Amino acid sequence: MVFSLIRRRASAPAGVACPHSAAAAAPALASVPGGPERVDRRQAEEFVRQFHDEYPGAGAVDARVREVRAEIARTGTYEHTPEELSFGARVAWRNAARCIGRLYWNSLVVRDLRGVSSADGIAAACAEHLALAGNGGRIRPVLTVFAPDRPGRPAPRIVNDQLVRYAGHRTPAGRWVGDPRAAATTAVARELGWKREEEPFQVLPLMVRERPDARPEWYELPDGAVHEVALRHPEHAWFAGLGLRWYAVPAISDMVLEIGGVRYPAAPFNGWYMGTEIGARNLADADRYDLLPLVAEKLGLDRSSERTLWRDRALVELNVAVLHSFQEDGVTMADHHTESERFLRHIARERRHGRPTPADWSWIVPPLSGSATPVFHRYYDPVDPALRPAFVPRQG
């Protein structure tokens, strides 16, 4: 897909305060004078040896370790080979303790775009990422890796937490329009000159910051880049009239991919949705779209007491609508019962390879009918915050 630069917008005027301006970005890097630090040689060596352990045909490990040591001594960092990069990205997914969908970690498509560092180039590549991952509805797990941080030279960052996210703002009357979770990002986009609409499912622009001292550039995603599914219910015709929809590709864009001490701050990645992420959280949570009262009213449920379980009944029907709609449109989506079974298969497979499967129970257990799934009734290997490769929260 060709990214349309006609849709590019200039950065904010100098007089407009922006949370992602140099003044706001500086504290995040204050602990690292001059920018990111040198790569830890021990972390680099551990990763290289892990790569060679899992891929014995990769060549002489000691020779590669010597190369990496020499490059770090000379430059403060080192460059992963394409094979190391792909392996590291896939293992970062394998190590993601909060993800239930890790069975397919080794199928992750890794796009090596480390040479792309301009805001225009990153925005265009992100649009291409969405098209590749969307795949006409047959969602593919994809990760796009942009330039890494180097000693004293922070790489570009994507401001958005997801490549696609619906805007959200509170009206003067106090009513929320759109997704409250996106309020801060929406405010940043408006300060940069983006025009917000009074519409609950308006896709935010993509914002890219090339340097800590640079204001973000913002870009409307091209027509066709965002695949959305209109929600309807298999038994209740009125549901379509609610005008609900959701995007098909959940691409996280605010995590740092850390491999062997090298940090990639712009590395958007996606899998596919599990239905409950949309139906039981995004659309149902009281601090998100808060649709349970509306759905319950349309269903004619008795809301006079919590003991009628009206929330539970509305929640089930909302999730039925999400799963039905994605299936009818031919868009990949997992249900929480099937995905739970797959996760246990993943654990068994990892055990056969002699590897632990760290997992955060509070994230693995689905938010709907948790005790009816097999992932509820067991313990998991403890989460190790130091485990690498990994996707880690971005600090600045």
pLDDT band at 5 (very low <50, low <70, confident <90, very high): very low
Average pLDDT of the chain, as a whole number: 92
pLDDT digits (tens, 9 = 90+) for 364-373: 999 999 999 9
The residue annotated as part of the active site, out of 90, 102, 181, 388, is 102
Q: Is there a cis peptide before residue 389, judged by omega within 30 degrees of 0?
A: yes
Residue 29: name the closest of 159, 154, 209, 160 by CA.
Answer: 154
Q: Which two tokens stand for residue 93?
A: 């997914």
pLDDT band at 55 (very low <50, low <70, confident <90, very high): very high
Mean pLDDT score, 150-170: 97
CA dihedral 85, 90, 93, 95 (to 10 degrees): -90
Q: Given a cut of 70, is residue 206 above it in pLDDT?
A: yes
Could you confirm whether 277 is annotated as catalytic?
yes
pLDDT digits (tens, 9 = 90+) for 337-363: 999 999 999 999 999 999 999 999 999
Contact 336, 316 (CB under 8 A): no
The residue annotated as part of the active site, out of 272, 310, 317, 339, is 272
Residues β-bridged to residue 177: 169
pLDDT band at 293 (very low <50, low <70, confident <90, very high): very high
Could you confirm whether 102 is annotated as catalytic?
yes
Task: Say how far apart CA 316 and CA 296 lie, in whole Å.
Answer: 11
One DSSP character per residue, 95-120 reads: T-TT-S-GGGGGG-EEEE-TT--SHH
pLDDT band at 35 (very low <50, low <70, confident <90, very high): low
Q: What is the pLDDT of residue 25?
A: 33
Q: Given a cut of 60, is residue 9 above it in pLDDT?
A: no
The residue annotated as part of the active site, out of 99, 232, 263, 388, is 99
The residue annotated as part of the active site, out of 217, 258, 277, 317, is 277
Q: Given a cut of 80, is residue 30 above it in pLDDT?
A: no
Q: Given a cut of 50, is residue 264 above it in pLDDT?
A: yes
- 385-390 long-range Cβ contacts below 8 angstroms, 24+ apart: 387/95, 387/358, 388/43, 388/46, 388/47, 388/92, 388/95, 388/258, 388/259, 388/260, 389/47, 389/88, 389/89, 389/91, 389/92, 389/95, 389/257, 389/258, 389/259, 389/260, 390/92, 390/95, 390/96, 390/258
pLDDT band at 395 (very low <50, low <70, confident <90, very high): confident
pTM, whole model, 2 decimals? 0.90
